[in-house]
Structure 1
Amino acid sequence: MRKLSVLLLGLMAAVAPAAAQTSSALPSFLLRANPADAPFIAARHNLTIVSQVTDASGVTMYLVTPVVDNPGLATELNGDLAVMAFERNHVVGIPESIRPRLMQSTAAILEALPDRTIVPYYGRSVWRGYANQPAAVLINTPAVHALPVTGGGVVAIIDTGIDVNHPALVGAFVPGYDFVRQQATVTSDLAGVSQSTAAILEAQVVGEPFRAALVNQSTAAILEQSTAAILEASGLPAAFGHGTMVAGLVRLVAPTARIMPLTAFAPDGSGDVFNVVRAIYYAVDHGANVINMSFSLADWSAELVRAVNYANEHDVICVASAGNNGEETLVFPSAFRHVVGVGSSNNLDLRSTFSNFGNGLVYLAAPGESLITPFPAGRYAAVSGTSFSAALVSGAAALIEQVKPGIEPTNAQEALSCAKRIGQDMGSGRLDLLSALLRALK
């Protein structure tokens, strides 16, 4: 397999004196060209080359910004014969940073956690309410673990930062990369809040009653009463803890799989196609078997398609969330042909009202309402959203990877399609781990 090299190379602007005019408000673009041509293209069109990714064919995708605003730039570049492809570097978002709201009251969330006893869970110490939650039983998690099938391979999670020291997750990781901070060390989202807020979260108040604090749209963190009151008043970034919570649900289903943390989003849920594409290439080239993509893009991106196709060609199973607008629509990468698009269902096997739907988008459903999962600073939270449904399916893919190492993605998708039918607009139905494994073994 030829490697894709991710090169973080800052090049000088084609016209150096004009660089001072560059505004952060100017859009960025993705330009595909041969490396020998790129500096001349930049000079012709007054562009600054910021960074790049070189693929196995020797063609490079460049992140470029115009030195000054140029409304006619797309027309110019489309007419340049040295330019192989050109598109806007679209914004990509974490769907839970906008919708949904939690489907239960905070009181109901606490009632669902009557026992916060610490119990062993495949080498980790976790809350009993997390390990034995209803959604895990519904998809037959205990039954497959008893076989025993508990997960194999590496699941790459492209998301916000992950708390790699959380007791439920510690020791589960292979090296990853932070594409936001351009560093090999992956940090928790605690690094994205003030020191005082981080200190409040990290402080454990012994003996104080717990309550569920609505810290953002889709998350109720289970905290001591005094801590909850402070954080509810101040709030947290819209996607704070998202990567940690996704990782916790992958590990709930596949507790012996390894996790590759790839940070491509800030704690507020903001990201872009360039960092996502780099993360996909990194995951494939560093041994991932599954890629979890709990994010969505409203606009088609040819570069994102190329990256997903590269993963598929190297037998990497791609899973993505379908989004939380409650609409029959298309979002990407969930709607791509080589991606398992995942919608949300509730514990009564009904489509969640917030979940996007439609068989052009949703291949499979999984529980996605008030799931209990690890939260930064050693905490736990209740969450709702298709991002978390996707995490359960990525865990399922890791189970399949254990029993059929190197399985082709199309065969993995066929196995996952052995699900419980829950309606005409939710693809193959609700995830059933036991049925999926039995199909994979045939």
Structure 2
Amino acid sequence: MFSSVKHYFYTEPNENLSIRKVFKPLYIILSLFGLFPYSIKFNSKRGLTIITKSIYINSLCAVSYVLFMSSFLAIHVQHVYESIDEGSMTREVMTQMNYVVELVVSFLFCVTAYVCAFNNRCTFVKIINSIGNMIEPPNNITEQNLSVLRFKVNVIMMGFLIVLLLLQVCVNFTRDDPFWKMILVFVTFMLPLTIQFTFLCFYYLLILMLVVLLMDIREKIESITKEKINILDCCMKADAKILSLQYMETLYVKAFEMKSTINKAFQASILVTTIQSFHAIVSESHIIYHGLVIEKDFTLHPLINCSIWIVYQIVKIFILARSGYLLKQEIMKVGQTLHTIPTDKHDIRLLLEIQHFSTLMSHQNNNLTAYGLFDLDATLLSKIISSSAMYMIILVQFDKK
């Protein structure tokens, strides 16, 4: 059993690393949560192969998670309204409303994630296979990029998900509440949060795969600029460069199409998780303010719990902002490399090819968005934090006490 699990995380010494093998560890986690509707076979020649009849079992797993969380959500909401006078889980009407809204939005993200995964069940496989086909067989530089990508998946993503789950268990099951309340909080808060991070890691991995593809395109363009040109063979060399540059342009167009497909598949989930993160930051900050300043009865455990929850929301926004930033930066590097191709000693055809490629890049929208409402870039995190601080100040000013 250990050897079969190890095969998903590590490659054999003589086995070439590929995009599909990098995807294996995260695929296991996605399948456990029912976020990948199809079971797939990792075939080295044919790529990812879909097992058609597996959709029934995987869909049943997804529906079971949704029904399980919705049942506990209804129980939790009922308990919140009944405990308004006890002060055990909520403190006043506004806090109670924020608490319920946070519960509902977290559950809404899970439903949105499962719907997006089911609607794009074939699209995800096609994207991974397409990227794998375009960067294979890899050269030494691409092997290094894939090794870095595998490190990010195996160590950072998988390690982060494990630490996230352990930290949630430690914080939740050390609270001074009955055991059934701990279970209630775990199913309605902690489990949806884990599903959110798993789905966002899947989104982040797809963007990193596109970044590796763009890096491969950029490195091939750089190889064109490093070639020594013989003046006597100028026309022949120019024709070879035009053909390779046309091929690079074709790869870039396909990469842009895949970027648009990924953005379309995940934008509903991105919108919901951004709203939920913004609301959670404001809500938890307001709870900390009431506990420390107004009520003055906040103990260390709820303070740590609220602070960790805020950190979780910031990390989610950081993942979204980081994905858009990396993709945009790599596209800019491709454009900069394109303009370093020497055009002297060549005919007008090569210059026209470079101009066409450059014009194509300048007229395409390279930003990742959520239905065009906001861009996923480096400024997203600062916008969310500044907006949350502004709303927190408004809530404090309108506080009755």
Q: What is the TM-score of this pair, normalised by structure 2?
A: 0.24
Which protein has the bigger helix share?
2
Q: What is the TM-score of this pair, normalised by structure 1?
A: 0.22
Larger Rg: 2
